[in-house]
Structure 1
Amino acid sequence: MGATAERPPRLRGPKLPDEPCAPAPERTWGWAVQLYALRSRDSWGVGDFADLKRFARWSRKAGASLILLNPLGAQTPTLPYQPSPYYAST
């Protein structure tokens, strides 16, 4: 590469295409929800997967492309536990 103590090697990166590889995706939208906030009479007002399914179908009909759901799994089972609204166990 012609490197010396005074001159570092010349590096050449990949050549970028002249035109974009793919068109930019269309903008989408969706919901950020907490499962316990999806309430119905069928779930006694606490929210469950049946409510999530109903909400997802309704959202899709309204044009939403995604649903961001709060974490549902338990935290790492190690001590000390730290309370957090993001853990299902607190």
Structure 2
Amino acid sequence: MGAVTDAPPGRRRPRLSDDPCSPAPRRSWGWAVQLYALRSRESWGVGDLADLRRFARWSRKAGASTVLLNPLGAQNPTFPYQPSPYFASSR
């Protein structure tokens, strides 16, 4: 039950209603993935955007509403250069 007031300040009298004041939040779920972890027979074994597209379509059919993906940025051109799976330039 939600309480709604329509009296001026200092003279509030709650009015009770069986109708909800706002709709219940819609529950959703999704995946958190690393692009390099998505693999298919068509990719080079490290995941690519075509693999991501297939995964997103599969996820949507499974009922997911979100696919969280880490940033796909190139490494900064500074030294020391350290290879990392998080940088597209070092894969």
- Superposition TM-score tier, normalisation by shorter sequence: 0.5 to 0.7
Q: Which is helix-richer, 1 or 2?
A: 2
Higher strand share: 2
Counterpart amino acid of residue 49 in structure 2: F
Give the gaps of 5 or more residues in structure 1. Answer: 1-17
Stretches of 4+ aligned residues off by more than 2 angstroms: 18-22, 74-77, 79-90
* Count of aligned residue pairs for this structure pair: 72
Report % sequence identity: 75
Matched, 1:28 2:32: no
Q: Secondary structure at the match of 2:68?
A: strand
The letter of the residue matching 2:64 is A
String of CA shifts for 1:26-66, please: whole Å, max 9, x gaps.
11000000000000111121100000000000000000000
So what's the TM-score if we normalise by structure 1?
0.61
Does the C-alpha gap of structure 1 residues 29 and 39 become closer, same or farther in structure 2, counting only changes over 3 Å?
A: same
Equivalent in the alignment of 2:55? 55
**Pairwise CA RMSD:** 2.9
TM-score (norm 2): 0.60
